[in-house]
Structure 1
Amino acid sequence: MHRFTLAMVACLLAIPLSFAAEPTMVLDLWPGVAPGEKGDVGPEEDVPAKPGQRPVRRIGKISKPLLSVFKPAKDKDTGAAIVIAPGGGYSILAWDLEGEEVAAWLNSIGVTGIVLKYRVPRRASQPKDAPPIGALQDAQRALSLVRSKADSLGIDPKRVGMLGFSAGGHLTAWTATNPDKRAYDPVDEADKQSCRPDFVVLVYPAYLTDKKKPDQLAEEIRVSKDTPPCFFAHAYDDGVSPENSVRMFLELKKLKVPAELHVYSTGGHGFGLRKEGKPCATWPDRCAEWLATQGITTKK
């Protein structure tokens, strides 16, 4: 019995933490149908894991974008907020690993976590050699909508950032470097608010480099002196090359845009915040320090 109990404990410890907290509120991203949305991908669904994949909730066929808002405890709340873009190759969203679990961590450091359910997969009518425009529309709208609801959400509209993983990291960088080019016609008063994140966190971002010229950034990643401060975390052994993070970091360095880069010796891809005994597991601590250094998590 004693051995059985130890085995059960070991099994439980091997299971990723599940954050059961429900969002404080869920907001429709658009007042009606999202721009260009035809609803032709079928009903939203949970996509089962393939053999060997991490236990992750994968949501696919998203036609109705939403924002799930997770508020920190009042005594911890700093007033800062971060829109979270889960990854998934623009095919699915890793909803718990790179969404809800991240919101729970942000809450622990006093930040409102807002998980963006953006449209996936790429629509058949969209060019295969370009990132899907619907995702950018949803991200830009999310930042404007959050700022428009700053009072009701109890956040500072001047401390609204964005955090993305993998394809969500690309979406975050794409959004951060194109605030002057809104990808849709304004639909209401919320769109009078800026769609530029005040700061960004990119965790193993994908697709940032040009496919044909990997020593250059992709065409849509338009780094400038007005790009917001950036934090990067990547693993050296990631199949999605850390050159994605390094290349953007170097371009920011040239322009004297504040940035911090961490490339960990091991970790692979898709580690999220789950503790797996690898060096990459410390990135949340480094990120929390960076947020504090930037004055983002200082109570105003």
Structure 2
Amino acid sequence: MKLCVVVLGLLLACGAASVQASVWQPSAGHTQIPLWPGKAPNLQAVPGPERADTNPTSLIGGKTVTAIRNVSQPTMTVYSPAGRNTGAAVVVFPGGGFEILAIDLEGTEVCDWLTAKGVTCIVVKYRVPGAPYDWHCDCRPRNLKPSVPSLQDAQRALRLVRSRARQWHVDPHKIGVLGFSAGGFLVAETSTLYKHRFYEPVDEADKESARPDFALAIYPGHLATDSNTMNGDIPVTGDTPPTFILQAEDDHVDGVHQAQVYYEALKKADVPTEMHLYAHGGHAFGLRPTSNPITHWPSLAETWLGTIGMIPTDGE
């Protein structure tokens, strides 16, 4: 699996003088909340200080992409609906091959969509780069292991959201996950490994469940082996939450087999599942408008969320 060849080719080419580097901050009125009260568990050295790079010459959907790298202090940022609040919440994992985080393309822009629909949105800035993943090699499809420390951050984020559900006007039984590419793999991990605690409890929040109530995996990666079998580190069972999967047939980064293998595993376990495959769309399109029909996927996701009872359906 040559994960994120396209995205990382765009976002990791940050040695050019045109790249603007800074420390990422959310928009005004939103504050990053540390995931951990002290140092994160299993903290590993990163290649340099955390920074956010925006290359004006690399565009997706006619816009630049901001890539966060060298995250050692994971956070989450909460975006609450300005109007009607459905009580549902979605924890978002941006993609980037466990090397960077496409924080706007696959993070804050998702919240623009969800909050407009009355859904609380939480963007997780999880730790990257993350062992054992190394985008420089083709080693990842073999002997894959849970993406600690990224999975630790993901589980912690879910527990924190549940612990603060009343404060944020969220229904603790309507908390889901959504992720793109590598973030889609985190969606699968949190959906199947929630009974396994990957860190020692640090406070009262860790008494909460880390199981998502629903999941959306958008052009997910790491789910299939070279032989097109299910990644053995993703133990799908009948308790895996209802899942929405989206991928393009011409995704040459993760490949359509990623979605197909996961879908088959979910169906075999009788998990309520909906998958949409489109002929064109490629990889790393996020929610940005294109001429491809796949660009309308958010409306499909909204309908699906209504059918599983997470948000009101039209007319309600």
Same fold (TM over 0.5): yes
- CA deviation digits over 1:207-236, x for unaligned, max 9? 10123x21x111211100000000011001
Contact 1:161 1:197 in 2 (8 A): yes
Contact 1:23 1:70 in 2 (8 A): no
Matched with 2:285 is 271
Matched with 2:262 is 248
Unmatched 5+ stretches in structure 2 = 1-25
Distance 2:235 2:212 in 1: 14
Q: Which has the higher helix share?
A: 1
**How far is 1:46 from its partner?**
1.7
Which of the numbers 223, 228, 231 marks the counterpart of 2:241? 228
Matched with 2:162 is 147
How many equivalent residue pairs?
278
Structure with max Cα Rg: 1
Which of the numbers 28, 33, 37 marks the counterpart of 1:27? 33
CA spacing shift, 1:87–1:125, aligned 2, 3 Å: closer
CA spacing shift, 1:194–1:116, aligned 2, 3 Å: same
Matched with 2:177 is 162
Letter in 1 for 2:87: G
Contact 2:245 2:259 in 1 (8 A): yes
Distance 1:161 1:250 in 2: 21
Contact 1:70 1:112 in 2 (8 A): yes
What SS is found at the alignment partner of 1:133? Answer: coil
CA spacing shift, 1:151–1:25, aligned 2, 3 Å: farther
Distance 1:31 1:39 in 2: 19
CA spacing shift, 1:124–1:266, aligned 2, 3 Å: closer
Contact 2:98 2:133 in 1 (8 A): no
Matched with 2:11 is none
Contact 2:131 2:148 in 1 (8 A): no
Matched with 2:72 is 63
CA spacing shift, 1:123–1:246, aligned 2, 3 Å: closer
Which of the numbers 99, 124, 133 marks the counterpart of 1:116? 124
What SS is found at the alignment partner of 1:247? Answer: helix
**How far is 1:282 from its partner?**
1.1
With normalisation by structure 1, the TM-score equals: 0.87
**How far is 1:125 from its partner?**
11
What SS is found at the alignment partner of 1:152? Answer: coil
**How far is 1:182 from its partner?**
1.3
Letter in 2 for 1:205: P
Letter in 2 for 1:121: P
**How far is 1:255 from its partner?**
1.7
**How far is 1:123 from its partner?**
4.7
With normalisation by structure 2, the TM-score equals: 0.83
Note the 1:1-300 alignment, pairs <5 A: 21-22=27-28, 24-49=30-55, 52=58, 54=60, 55-74=64-83, 76-123=84-131, 130-131=144-145, 132-211=147-226, 213-214=227-228, 216-239=229-252, 240-298=254-312
CA spacing shift, 1:111–1:282, aligned 2, 3 Å: same
Unmatched 5+ stretches in structure 1 = 1-19
Distance 2:31 2:303 in 1: 28
**How far is 1:34 from its partner?**
0.4
% identity of equivalent residues: 44
What SS is found at the alignment partner of 1:181? Answer: coil
**How far is 1:248 from its partner?**
1.0
